[in-house]
Amino acid sequence: MVRIGISVEGPTEERFVKIVLEPYLSRKGVFMTAISMGGDVSVDSAKSELKKIANSFDYVTTLYDFYGFKKKTNNEDKTSLEQRLVDSVHDGVRPKFIPYIQMYEFEGVLFSCPEAMERGLNETGVKEWAQGVLDEFGGNPEVINDSVETAPSKRLGKETAYRKTTHGPNIAKEIGVEKIREMCSGFDAWLTKIEDLPISH
C-alpha cells in the first residue's frame, strides 16, 4: 500500500481525484487523498502546503493547472515549472515529492473523448464541436490553449452549459482514466511514475 497526498488547485480537481483517480489507483494499491489549495497556486504557496501535508503521507504530488499558476516566469514551460517546484520544497519533502502540472488546464483532458463529453453534458452537437476543437490541435487535448479567451474551460463555457465543479469530474469519469491516459501523454507519464512507486505490505 502507498498513501499519497495530492495538493490540488480547487474543488473541481479535488472531486476528480475522489471520484475518478482514487478508485482507479486504489485497485493498484495506491491510495490518494486530495487537499485543495482554494485556487491560489504559486511556487511559494505550494511549498508551504506540501510541507504541511508531507508528514501524513508516504509521497506527495500535485495537480495544478499550468494556465492558472500564479507568478510564472517568462518563457516558463511545464518542465521548468515542475523543476521550480522540486527546487523550492523543503529538503525533507523532496525525496517523496512527485511534481505534476496539467497542460494547460484540467478541462483540456475532457476533450479526450468528445462522445463522453456530449453524454456528460447531455447536449446535442457537443460531440462534433469538441471533435473540431480536438482536430484543430492535432488530436492532443493537452495543447488546447490559444489565449485567455480560448482556454479549454472558456471554450466549454461559451459553447455549452458547462459547470466546472459538477460537469468536469463527471465527464472525466465518463471518459475513464485509460482513455485519458491514451490521449494525454503528460497525464499518463505522471500516473506511470505513481504506479511505479514501491508498494509496502
Residue 200 pLDDT class (50, 70, 90 cuts)? low
Q: What is the average pLDDT across 60-77?
A: 92
101 phi/psi in degrees, rounded to 5: -115, 125
23: in domain: yes
Q: What is the mean pLDDT of the chain?
A: 95
pTM above 0.75, yes or no: yes
CA 126 to chain centre: 22
Q: Are residues 99 and 122 in the same domain?
A: no
Q: Which amino acid belongs to residue 39?
A: G
Residue 35 pLDDT class (50, 70, 90 cuts)? very high
Residue 78 has what pLDDT? 95
Residue 1 to residues 14, 22, 90, 144, 195, Cα–Cα distance (Å): 21, 13, 25, 36, 11
Number of domains in the chain: 2
CB-based burial of residue 31 (10 Å sphere; 0-12 exposed, 13-18 middle, 19+ buried)? middle
Q: Are residues 32 and 120 in the same domain?
A: no
Is 113's pLDDT higher than 90?
Answer: yes
Q: Are residues 21 and 100 in the same domain?
A: yes
Q: Are residues 126 and 160 in the same domain?
A: yes
200: in domain: no
CATH of the domain at 189: 3.40.50
Is 199's pLDDT higher than 80?
Answer: no
146: in domain: yes
Q: Are residues 78 and 129 in the same domain?
A: no
Q: Are residues 187 and 93 in the same domain?
A: yes
What is the share, in percent, of the chain residues with pLDDT greater than 90? 90
Residue 148 has what pLDDT? 78
Domain span including residue 118 = 106-177
Q: What is the DSSP string of 80-91?
A: HHHHHHHHHS-T
39: in domain: yes
Contact, 170 vs 120, CB < 8 A? yes
Judged by average pLDDT, the poorest of 74-83, 141-150, 159-168 is 141-150
201: in domain: no
48: in domain: yes
Q: Are residues 61 and 150 in the same domain?
A: no
* Per-residue pLDDT tens over the stretch 80-111: 999 999 999 999 999 999 999 999 999 999 99
Residue 38 has what pLDDT? 87
Residue 73 pLDDT class (50, 70, 90 cuts)? confident
168: in domain: yes
